[in-house]
Amino acid sequence: MKTKQKATVKKVTSTNGSMVDISLKFNEGWSYSPAPESTDHVSIKERYELFIGGKFVKPIKGKYFATINPATEKKISEVANASSEDVDKAVKAARKAFGPWSSLPARERGKYVYRIARMMQEKARELAVIESIDGGKAIRESRDIDIPLAAAHFFYYAGWADKLDYAFPNKKPKPLGVAGQIIPWNFPLLMAAWKIAPAIAVGNTVILKSAETTPLTSLKLAEIIQEAGLPDGVVNIITGAGDTGAAIVNHPDIDKIAFTGSTSVGKIIQKAIAGTDKKATLELGGKAANIILDDAPLDQAVEGIINGIYFNQGHVCCAGSRLFVQEGVAETVIRKLKDRMQTLIVGDPLDKNTDIGAINSKEQLATINKYIKIGKKEGADFYQSACDIPERGYWCRPTLFLNVSQSHRIAQEEIFGPVLAVQTFRTVDEVIEKANNTPYGLSAGIWTDKGSKIFNITSKLRAGVIWANTYNKFDPASPFGGYKESGFGREGGLPGLQAYLNLG
């Protein structure tokens, strides 16, 4: 995509006394040629049914809804809208499968989970393209991050299936039963993997509902699961909106709810299951502090800031959306950050050069634009890169606000878009206090040359995941989850396994 912008002219005096222009000129003399990922290997049906009891079945009420490509606003396919009757059918299928599945020798269960992982790897290219078409994320990310990590989760939990006695010595781990799993639209296949892999590896059966704007990779996963020969009803995958999610939450024969999504829906779920035996893990919103100390390696830190907030269009619960820069380096960091922002390519998610793809939905774009307006009105200094954006589709240029204060809504509320709120600080104590002054507690980042500062600050931040001199690094062996309004429970690693077990 061709991008044009006017760089501010910076001049210095050269050795012969003449003025030389040293300003960075982005995309003026050159631009990337299009590098589209091919789509001819991808098969998407015109219509998808519900995956219940090992078969694709029509929704009882016969209702369907469209899923669109947010980069083109065109309909891709239509998927079933599951009613509470369909949910009931899926719960019955999962309940029926639970007895035989949970009593299967653990190493046999492990083999199925391995098989799913390997088949996901075989179909990785197709899954990556579909993820980008359906959700808008850059192919570079779906290809290199989402899909490989999703397969890695299945591999990781397949390995634990027959080793529970080592994972939890002197306990008698037992599966919980039927798990209802509700996932969001920002990492569709990855969230399906986080939820399904640990649950089935240890003998539970599941009903998973994908998010309304991104159902396709979950349905592709259903096809893989069917092809893998997983016993009928162990995994049921359904599509629908909030009502379908609520029907899962309220179904009396569900033993555990695993939810990732907004804090507001997390609160509804917690109220709905209060007083029942249902167990829950809730992974909700975030407003992470990314802290740059004055001894940090600044160029790496700038890359970390960019990755922290512009990765996946900023649709990331652990996004480093609040930047805190120590005063001594603030000017340099912000200059370098603005320059780096100008190089980011916004556009076609299927182009391999694209850094920032399409905003997931019209609704989410409206939310982001609402917050940009609020930020301007609150008096923060607005800055946006000057790149071109396509005419159709939902787009947002990389954005930052300077001179933000703690009380600003853009510093307190989750925007879930490519919008960074920047503040400065003088002392370590001050930044710890500011970083913790939020209702959320999911993640944080620290950049410094000194290990002692890392230990000091990480021990005082109330956040579930803290990265030092890096950001947004994920591994199936590493637990993930939050404090406060970011939810509770952990996914990944052994804690992620424990969330699907009764330890007796």
Binding site for Mg ion (CB under 5 A): 67, 134, 213
Structure tokens at 439: 């209702």
| 317 has catalytic annotation | yes
Identify which of residues 102 and 354 has a Cβ nearer to Mg ion in the complex: 354
Q: Measured from the CB of residue 342, what is the shortest distance to ligand NAI in angstroms?
A: 26
User: Strand, helix or coil at 3?
Assistant: coil
Identify which of residues 78 and 388 has a Cβ nearer to Mg ion in the complex: 78
Residue 268: contacted member of Mg ion, ligand NAI, none (CB under 5 to 8 Å, by partner type) = ligand NAI
User: Strand, helix or coil at 164?
Assistant: helix
Contact 379, 398 (CB under 8 A): no
Q: Measured from the CB of residue 262, what is the shortest distance to ligand NAI in angstroms?
A: 3
Calpha distance 198→440 (Å, rounded): 26
User: Strand, helix or coil at 111?
Assistant: helix
Structure tokens at 303: 């890359």
Q: Measured from the CB of residue 361, what is the shortest distance to ligand NAI in angstroms?
A: 8
**Which stretches of 136-238 are DSSP H helices?**
139-141, 147-160, 164-167, 188-201, 216-227
What residue ranges bind ligand NAI (CB under 6 A)? 182-186, 209, 211-212, 241-242, 245-246, 249, 260-262, 265, 268-269, 284-285, 317, 364, 367, 414, 416
Calpha distance 273→251 (Å, rounded): 10
Identify which of residues 69 and 263 has a Cβ nearer to Mg ion in the complex: 69
Calpha distance 340→454 (Å, rounded): 26
Identify which of residues 93 and 182 has a Cβ nearer to ligand NAI in the complex: 182
Q: Measured from the CB of residue 261, what is the shortest distance to ligand NAI in angstroms?
A: 3
Residue 186: contacted member of Mg ion, ligand NAI, none (CB under 5 to 8 Å, by partner type) = ligand NAI
| 387 has catalytic annotation | no
Residue 64 phi/psi, 5-degree rounding, is -135, 160
Residue 129: contacted member of ligand NAI, Mg ion, none (CB under 5 to 8 Å, by partner type) = none
Catalytic residue selected from 131, 317, 396, 491? 317
Identify which of residues 126 and 413 has a Cβ nearer to Mg ion in the complex: 126
Residue 67: contacted member of ligand NAI, Mg ion, none (CB under 5 to 8 Å, by partner type) = Mg ion
Residue 348: contacted member of Mg ion, ligand NAI, none (CB under 5 to 8 Å, by partner type) = none
Question: C-alpha 60: how far from its chain's center?
Answer: 32
Identify which of residues 245 and 320 has a Cβ nearer to ligand NAI in the complex: 245
Catalytic residue selected from 283, 414, 485, 491? 283
Return the number of other C-beta atoms located less than 10 Å from residue 451's C-beta.
10
Calpha distance 275→265 (Å, rounded): 18
Q: Measured from the CB of residue 283, what is the shortest distance to ligand NAI in angstroms?
A: 6
Identify which of residues 42 and 241 has a Cβ nearer to ligand NAI in the complex: 241
Calpha distance 209→378 (Å, rounded): 38
**Around 437, how many Cα atoms within 13 Å sit in the side-chain half-sphere?**
13
Q: CA separation (Å) from 23 to 10, 216, 223, 333? A: 5, 45, 53, 16
Q: Measured from the CB of residue 95, what is the shortest distance to ligand NAI in angstroms?
A: 20
Residue 308: contacted member of ligand NAI, Mg ion, none (CB under 5 to 8 Å, by partner type) = none
Q: Which of 413, 419, 422 is nearest to 326 (CA)?
A: 422
Question: C-alpha 32: how far from its chain's center?
Answer: 28
Residue 31: contacted member of ligand NAI, Mg ion, none (CB under 5 to 8 Å, by partner type) = none
Q: CA separation (Å) from 19 to 22, 43, 59, 499? A: 9, 59, 72, 65
Identify which of residues 292 and 356 has a Cβ nearer to ligand NAI in the complex: 356
Q: Measured from the CB of residue 290, what is the shortest distance to ligand NAI in angstroms?
A: 17
Residue 134: contacted member of Mg ion, ligand NAI, none (CB under 5 to 8 Å, by partner type) = Mg ion
DSSP assignment of 63-107 equals -EEEEEETTTTEEEEEEE---HHHHHHHHHHHHHHHHHHHHS-HH
Q: Measured from the CB of residue 30, what is the shortest distance to ligand NAI in angstroms?
A: 36
Residue nearest to ligand NAI (CB): 245
Report, as residue numbers or ranges, the catalytic residues: 283, 317
